[in-house]
A and B are shown apart, each in its own frame.
Chain A
Amino acid sequence: MERLLAANAWAVFAFFYLPILVLIVLSFNENRNVNIWTGFSTRWYGEILDNADVLRALRNSLVVAGVSTVCSTALGTAAALAVERFRFRGRRLFDGLLYLPIIIPDVTMAVMMLLFFVQALDLVNGLLGTRLNLGLATISLSHIAFNISFVAVVVRARLGQLDPAIEEAAADLYAGRWQVFRRVTLPLILPGVLGGALLALTLSLDDVVITSFVSGPGSTTLPVYVFGLVRRGVTPLINAVSTVMLLGSMLLVGLSLMVQRRPATLGGGNR
């Protein structure tokens, strides 16, 4: 039995890693045809640096990911604190609303965002006489909308582990509400907040469907740009860009393991 379990485990790890490894190896193939190995070369990485479209898409991705991560971390942490630590009217409704963006499939979220922004931009342009269009702003706003929930889930998991006695002790020692939060609660939940931020960053850098619905001309992000290329076929350039994106993801995993220290669950830490 033990042997079977071990065999299955190694098979799963092979399944997880072999495709990625093949992709990485092929990205160093000198040949224009991906499947004919003619020698080791880094020429495709050089081509990335010469490709203005890829670089612009990368810049767009980083801008959107940065903005949406900062905003959604602040909003998501506040949301987690509110539902986890307070009783107020409308709390249950808020709790439900907070879960929905996680449950809903990308495609439907994308449809919602597109129709909303088409209507909203119509309204705003009509009222103010502006000519605002879909672009980096609408992409960022959409990413914040789904990231708030993911940050909130991660921070809530951390808050749930927290012993309320610690906060009560601080309050007994005449610390004000803000002091308790600033000096006790926040430092203790910080790994959760950072973990949530990194998850938000990852999700923002990963998103294809929602972004492609709410992006305008010139505001393509890297995954959307790559997705467009991929649909046309396999090229060595995509292999190289993909490898760079994988390295980026792995960097984020490393960071998130460092901040959370206990890599127990997707939220970090045990309950």
Chain B
Amino acid sequence: MGDASPEAAAAKAEAMRGFLISLPSYLYLVLFFAVPFVIVLVYSFASRSSTGRTVLGDWNLVSYKRLFDPLVAQIAFRSLWLALATTLLCLVVAYPFAYFIATRTPRVRNALLILVMIPFWSNFLVRTYAWRVLLGSDGPVSQITQVLGLGETRLLFTVWAILIGLVYGFLPFMVLPLYAAIERMDWSLVEAARDLYASGWTAFRKVTWPLTTPGVIAGSILVFIPALGAYVTPAILGGARTVLLGDYIVDQFLAARNWPYGSALSVALMTVMLFATFVYFRAGGRNL
């Protein structure tokens, strides 16, 4: 009977319309995203000839076994703690910062937000390069420390330079979702807590923080994921002894020419990312 009624026919036509509107981008994403994903998956099981060519055939798990190399563990560990440290530092700095902006008058707030948007939209490569200039052995930072009698700073090409670069690069990604969450918050709830004699700290811990956790989680994901896969930052600010997952993967394609191994590394990285995002959505976050 369902198909016969005019409502059902209309609903069907409506569904068809929606499908057709989505079709061009749907097909595009299948062809240029889903298919490439499958190809990477296939490559990760392929083998490599002695000349470095990838042989599609003779499928094996060699590339995946290499993931358990101590070298990989070292690189993965370094990437992981740098990404976590970046996320944590961004959170600690950005939360009070976003709180400050959200509690200004609308006019001041909009002006400050524009000041946040500018670095957010500015070229990432250029912003990273600025630190290469600043931290150079005879660069401005080193010149200042020398004048102060602290001696030369030798931060460039160390993990600390990478950490600074990552925090600098991704801080706006943390600020904006936090700001959105704090600004959206129902302040009367905080007032109610204070009326009930909660101290400022208790009110924050029991009311403000829980109400803004979606922003905290969104910001953390937005910082953690690109930080874990970072390539530009370590390539510019890091050295030969500070290889991270991002530049390690790129090396497999542009230098070592071991595509199956690079593919396996990519698959592993994607799995971690998808897991992290899954946790985020399970935690109830919705806004990216």
A residues sitting closer than 8 Å to B (CB atoms) are: 1, 4-6, 8-9, 12-13, 15-17, 19-20, 22-23, 26, 34-35, 75-76, 78-79, 81-83, 85-91, 94, 97-108, 110-116, 119, 141-142, 144-145, 148, 152-153, 177, 202, 205-206, 208-209, 212-213, 223, 226-227, 230-231, 234, 238-239, 242, 245-246, 248-250, 252-253, 256-257, 263-266, 270-271
Contact = CB atoms under 8 A, between A and B. Distances in A.
B40 interface: yes
Contacts of B94: 12
Contact of B22 (A16, A88, A206): A88
B125 A105 contact: no
B256 interface: no
B288 A153 contact: yes
B250 to A, nearest CB: 6
A227 B132 CA distance: 12
A89 B18 CA distance: 9
A111 B121 contact: no
A105 B229 contact: yes
Contacts of A242: 123, 126, 129-130
B120 A230 contact: no
B131 to A, nearest CB: 6
Interface size, B (range):
35 or more
Nearest to A75: B25
Nearest to A35: B138
Contact of B32 (A82, A107, A141, A227): A141
Contacts of B126: 23, 226, 242, 245-246, 249
Contacts of A87: 14-15, 18
A263 B123 contact: no
Contacts, number: 272
B16 interface: yes
A237 to B, nearest CB: 12
A146 to B, nearest CB: 8
A264 B130 contact: no
A12 B101 CA distance: 12
**Interface SS of chain B:** helix
B115 interface: yes
Nearest to A110: B250
Interface in B65-90: none
B32 A145 contact: yes
Contacts of B132: 230, 234
A126 B192 CA distance: 72
A8 B24 contact: no
Contacts of A209: 231-232, 250
Interface in B110-153: 110, 112-127, 129-134, 136, 138-140, 143
Nearest to B34: A97
A205 B22 CA distance: 27
A114 B253 contact: yes
Q: Which of A19, A23, A97, A148 has the most CB of B within 10 A?
A: A19
A115 B26 CA distance: 21
B36 A115 contact: yes
A4 B20 CA distance: 55
A154 to B, nearest CB: 11
B270 interface: yes
B40 A112 contact: yes
7 contacts: A103-B277, A112-B266, A114-B253, A116-B39, A153-B288, A253-B118, A256-B117
A149 to B, nearest CB: 8
Contacts of A16: 115-116, 118-119, 171-172
A103 B273 contact: yes
Nearest to A87: B15
Contacts of B245: 107
Contacts of B172: 16
